[in-house]
Amino acid sequence: MRVLFVGDIMGGPGRDALKHFLPRLREEWHPDFVMANAENSAGGKGITGPVSEEVFGAGVDVITMGNHTWARKGVDPLLKDERVLRPANYPPVLPGHGYAVFSVKGKSLGVLQLMGRHRMAEIDCPFRKADEILNEWKADVIVVDMHAEASSEKQAMGWYLDGRVSAVVGTHIHVQTADERLLPQGTAFISDVGMTGPRDSIIGGDREVSLKRFLTGLPAGVAVEKKGDLQVSACVLDVDENTGKAIDIQRVYRVLKKS
């Protein structure tokens, strides 16, 4: 089974990049299933119903979120859709699903999202939540989106789940890392798959707004960079659906020149 995971979609430019690149990536890689993190897909923070339909319409099968899940009002009804996942280690009283199972090629593909705690929200332990879920939930192939700030916490999750899931893919920092590998017990891992959106930006944000924040120390609102080239960051996972073990993981990075 081949899974294409598209890194964090950043605002309108990210959606434009997704619509441009995804058909080309499908033709090149022939994935059986497409995942995308879309927690920043609406104006750089959060998601809305119309934006989610735009992402699904581009060819994405399941959306994962993160710490900006509730950044937009009215998102709760959207979270009833099992194709839109928020971190499973948020308190269970909150709406939404943290994991779901899909049928792919006659096999079951499980998608689980967890979120780190270092410099993130004060939520339940992602390691204990992973144990809880994996002890009661089974699928032939399991892909985990580990949404976290610290590379160390993501790497720790990779090692913790090695042999128990097919892949642990990191999201959130918007910069693609070059540490993709197969861990000893058969789990594919990468610390961060990267960002899909404006290349000539500061992690997707408007350069002037971001620089002002660094130079003055004053807070600034979220502003997506609208100028310059577009990029897509992704990874391709090949998994033996009979064993659940990963066979390969490859980084994908493409640029659409606009200037």
Structure tokens belonging to residue 16: 């434009």
> What backbone torsions phi and psi does residue 92 show, to the nearest 5 degrees?
-65, -15
Structure tokens belonging to residue 150: 């610290």
The CA distance from 244 to 211, in Å, is: 45
**Which of helix, strand or coil describes residue 94?**
coil
The CA distance from 157 to 153, in Å, is: 6
**Which residue, 250, 246, 210, 255, is CA-closest to 1?**
246
DSSP letter string over 24-89?
Answer: HHHHHH--SEEEEE-TTTTTTS---HHHHHHHHHTT-SEEE--TTTTSSTT-TTGGGSTTEE--TT
Residues labelled catalytic: 68
What would the 3-class secondary structure string for 124-173 be? CCHHHHHHHHHHHCCCCEEEEEEECCCHHHHHHHHHHHECCECEEEEECC
Report CA-CA distances (Å) from 43 to 55, 104, 143, 213, 259: 14, 32, 27, 18, 22
Using an 8 Å Cβ cutoff, are 116 and 88 in contact? no
